[in-house]
Each structure stands twice: as C-alpha cells, then as structure tokens.
C-alpha cells in the first residue's frame, strides 16, 4: 500500500483502532486493534498519537455505516453487502448476523493485503478489481437484497466517475441501495490546497469534490435512480424498484439542526445524524467565547498543525454537539458533557 489513496486505508484503520480503545467513542472494534498490532507499519510515527478529534470523527462515520447495515439486515437477513474500496475496514466483524454475505472490492495491492490479514470465508470475501469497472456487479448475488457501501472512497474519484458508478448500480443492481459519504466542500478544497498535515508529515490525499444540491440533483436524474437523499455527509441512493418503493416507510421529517448561530470564522461541518462539529482557530477569541457560552458545544480536542493557511501552520480547536445534547437542551435538561475539554 504505497500509493497515497491506498495508505488512507491504514489511516482510517488506525483511527478506528484509537477510537476502539477510547470508551467515549462508542465503537467496539477489537478486530481493528488486532490488525494495527499485527501490521508492521509505523502508525504512530506516520499519523501521530494526539488524534482524538480524528478518531472521534472516524468512529461516528463507522457507526453511521453500521447502522445502515443493521437496518438493511433487519429487512434482508441473508442479503449481500458490497463494500467498494473496503481497505482494511473490519465492519463485517462489527455487524455480522451469521447469515449476511459480504463482498469487498479492492485494488490489487490492497486486496492482497486484506486477504492475507483477513482470509476469505464462505460468507466474506474480497474481490480484486476497480470499483469503477462495473464487472464487480456480476459477482453480486442479488437474490436476497443488496446494499452497496462506499465508505471514505468516492471523494478521491472524479465526479463524472462517481455519477457513472451510480448509473451502473442503477442499471445492473435493480432494487439495491448505495450509501456513501462525502466531505464538506470546504474540507475537500482544503485537501487540494494541502491545508491538512500531521506533524509527522502525513497529508490526506486531495479529495476532488464535496456534495452540493446541484450534484444531488444530478444523481436523482440518473436513469434508474429512484431517490437520492443526503443526510449531512451521508448520501443514499435507491435504485429503481417500484415494489421496494411502495413498501418503503414514509420519509422521516428532516432533523432540525441546532439553532445556535455558528460563530463567525468557525468552520462548520456535519456528520450524519449523531454529531455536529465545529473547528475554530485558537486566535478567534470571539468564536471561542460564543461556542463556550452556547451551552451545547463541547470542546473535544486541539488539532495541532491542522491547517496550512497562507504559508503558516495553524492549530484548530474542535467542538462538537451531539444529537442527544441538542435534544436535552430543547427539553431544558442539563447537557451531558461527554468529554473533558483539553487545555489550550
Ligand atoms: C480511505 S480508504 C477507505 C477504506 C475503507 N473503506 C475504510 O473506510 O476504512 C480508500 C480505499 O479505497 C481503495 N480504492 C481506491 N481507489 C479504488 C478503486 N478504483 N477501486 C477499488 N478500490 C479503490 C483504496 O485502495 C483504499 O483501500
């Protein structure tokens, strides 16, 4: 895994293993911890050790995907889950119900590493191939329902390729659901400009796009796509299948976002359903004061040398508000502070 995008699989694995060791992250993933210990790779030197914010973000993302899989398996216990660009994700071991069939699609080098560490079984296997090459769809047993996941990978592809992938799924896997995540546009732009860097030198590779309403409309217009919706960073497309549509529950009312005005200068991003994150520079005293006074944001971490702006490295303070905190606030209950703020 020497290429930049392949290395991101080690990056996400490492953060999931950190999250799994942190009880506040709520991610039970002993297999990730096991893999990090088994791999001869300098995780701490490459990615650092002071990564609480990233680990939390990765845990939220993993939990969101787990929830999608569990909801799918409740309806299709023997269904097939396809993980595009699966890397060293250990989700199968987090959600296995004993009957699911699991198919990962990975590029040759990463597929070989995965198979070495996590050998194929009768229900869980890795296919070598490019996710943009629709031949993988021919390997999918669609008899009991199909859920396609693309966790942490489509942002590295050109948008036209992503749209073509959605079209291919719509044509070749009728009735399937595709779930993927995208960064906010500001974050994608930051990776292109090289803003984000770990003290040891690692930089996430450029992410070429973020979801926008116009792109969502493009997905909805793809032939065969029945519906496409974005819940914060998670996008779900439902491939056309009239019978599936008839039995779908009515859409949930949109979740209300916190009415707290985002302080000027704070970068705001959202993760699906569970948490809302805000990053602010330590020098932005007014924004920090507003976040501290909001009564709902909790300071999570100081992300050291997080952004490279105008030739200077800046730390960022990361705040979050969880959905439960927000509900509690609306019901005039005390907000549950879930972590200890770090010192400036
Ligand atoms: C950020 S990692 C995500 C891995 C995993 N989904 C996770 O969340 O931990 C991106 C993965 O996508 C894989 N990948 C990149 N381009 C791909 C392609 N064209 N076809 C299949 N896999 C690809 C990389 O090898 C890498 O393992």
- Each domain of the chain, given as residue ranges in start order, spans 62-247, 267-330
Does 245 have pLDDT greater than 60? no
- Taking the CA of residue 83 as reference, the ligand 1 atom at the shortest distance is 6
Pick left, alpha or beta for residue 310 (phi over 0 → left; psi -120 to 50 → alpha; otherwise beta): left
Helices (H), the chain: 4-21, 30-38, 43-47, 52-75, 91-95, 108-117, 159-172, 185-192, 213-221, 242-247, 285-293, 323-330
Q: What is the mean pLDDT of residues 300-308?
A: 70
Which region among 47-61, 68-82, 160-174 has the lowest average model confidence (pLDDT)? 47-61
Q: Which of 125-134, 219-228, 245-254 shows the lowest mean pLDDT across its residues?
A: 245-254
Long-range interactions of 195-199: CB distance < 8 A, separation 24+: 195/306, 195/307, 195/308, 195/309, 196/306, 196/307, 196/308, 197/305, 197/306, 197/308, 197/313, 198/46, 198/47, 198/48, 198/305, 199/48, 199/304, 199/305
Average pLDDT over residues 204-222: 85
Measured from the CA of 149, which atom of ligand 1 is nearest? Answer: 6
Ligand 1 is surrounded, with C-beta below 6 A, by 5-6, 8-9, 12, 85-87, 89, 105-107, 110, 130-132, 151-153
Q: Which of 330, 333, 181 is nearest to 257 (CA)?
A: 330
Q: What is the pLDDT of residue 298?
A: 78
Strand 225-231, strand 177-181: pairing = unpaired
Above 50 in pLDDT, residue 72? yes
pLDDT, tens digit, 9 for 90 and up, residues 94-147: 999 999 999 999 999 999 999 999 999 999 999 999 999 999 999 999 999 999
| 68 pLDDT higher than 80 | yes
> Residues near 141 by Cβ (< 8 Å), separated by ≥ 6?
80, 101
Instruction: Answer whether 106's CB lies under 8 Å from 127's CB.
Output: yes
Residue whose CA is closest, atom 19 of ligand 1? 130
Residue 214 reports pLDDT greater than 70? yes
- Atom of ligand 1 minimally distant from the CA of 61: 8
* Confidence check: pLDDT of 192 > 80: yes
Q: What is the mean pLDDT of residues 50-77?
A: 87
Ligand 1 atom 13, closest CA: 85
Q: How far is the CA of 318 from the centre of ligand 1 (A)?
A: 27
pLDDT > 90 fraction of the chain, expressed in percent and rounded: 39
pLDDT greater than 70 at residue 4: no
Atom 14 in ligand 1: which residue has the minimum CA distance? 85
Mean pLDDT of 167-192: 86
Give distance in angstroms: CA of 157 to centre of ligand 1: 10
The class (CATH top level) of 267-330 is alpha beta
Above 90 in pLDDT, residue 201?
A: no
- pLDDT of 196 above 80: no
Mark 121-140 as b/e (b = at least 16 C-beta within 10 Å).
eeebbbbbbebeebebbeeb
- For residue 17 the two structure tokens come to 């293993």
pLDDT at 195: 78
Stretch 180-201: mean pLDDT: 79
Predicted pLDDT of residue 208? 87
The CB density around residue 101, as the number of other CB atoms within 10 Å, is 18
More confident position, 294 or 148:
148
172 has pLDDT over 60: yes
- Which is more confident, 299 or 309? 299
* Cα of 11 from ligand 1 centre, angstroms: 11
- Say which residues have a Cβ less than 8 Å from residue 281's Cβ, sequence separation at least 6: 265, 287, 307, 314, 315, 316, 317
pLDDT value, residue 316: 76
> What number does the ligand 1 atom closest to the CA of 62 have?
8
Q: What percent of the chain stands above pLDDT 70?
A: 74
Instruction: Specify the DSSP class assigned to residue 263.
Output: P
Query: 62-247 architecture in CATH?
Result: 3-Layer(aba) Sandwich (3.40)
Amino acid 101: pLDDT: 98
Yes or no: say if 218 and 228 are a contact pair by the CB < 8 Å rule: no
């Amino acid at each position: 895994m020497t290429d930049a995008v392949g290395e991101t699989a080690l990056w996400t694995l490492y953060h999931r293993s950190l999250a799994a060791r942190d009880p506040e992250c709520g991610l039970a993933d002993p297999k990730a911890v096991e893999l990090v210990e088994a791999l001869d790779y300098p995780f701490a030197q490459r990615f650092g050790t002071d990564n609480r914010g990233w680990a939390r973000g990765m845990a939220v993302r993993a939990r969101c995907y787990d929830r999608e899989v569990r909801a799918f398996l409740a309806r299709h216990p023997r269904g097939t889950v396809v993980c595009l660009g699966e890397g060293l994700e250990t989700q199968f071991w987090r959600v296995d119900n004993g009957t699911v069939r699991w198919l990962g699609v990975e590029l040759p080098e990463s597929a070989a590493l995965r198979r070495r560490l996590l050998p194929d079984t009768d229900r869980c296997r890795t296919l070598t191939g490019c996710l943009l090459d629709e031949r993988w769809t021919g390997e999918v047993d669609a008899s009991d329902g199909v859920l396609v996941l693309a966790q942490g990978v489509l942002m590295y592809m050109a948008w036209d390729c992503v749209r073509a992938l959605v079209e291919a799924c719509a044509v070749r896997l009728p009735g399937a659901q595709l779930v993927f995540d995208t960064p906010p546009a500001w974050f994608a732009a930051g990776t292109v400009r090289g803003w984000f860097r770990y003290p040891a030198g690692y930089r996430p590779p450029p992410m070429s796009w973020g979801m926008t309403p116009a792109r969502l409309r493009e997905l909805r217009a793809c032939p065969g796509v029945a519906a496409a919706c974005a819940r914060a960073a998670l996008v779900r497309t439902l491939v056309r299948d009239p019978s599936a549509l008839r039995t779908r529950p009515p859409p949930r009312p949109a979740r209300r976002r916190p009415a707290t005005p985002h302080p000027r200068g704070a970068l705001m991003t959202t993760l699906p359903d569970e948490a809302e994150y805000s990053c602010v520079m330590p020098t932005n005293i007014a924004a920090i004061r507003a976040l501290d006074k909001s009564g709902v944001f909790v300071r999570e971490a100081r992300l050291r040398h997080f952004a490279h702006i105008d030739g200077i490295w800046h730390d960022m303070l990361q705040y979050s508000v969880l959905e439960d905190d927000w509900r509690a606030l609306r019901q005039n209950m005390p907000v549950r502070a879930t972590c200890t703020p770090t010192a400036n």
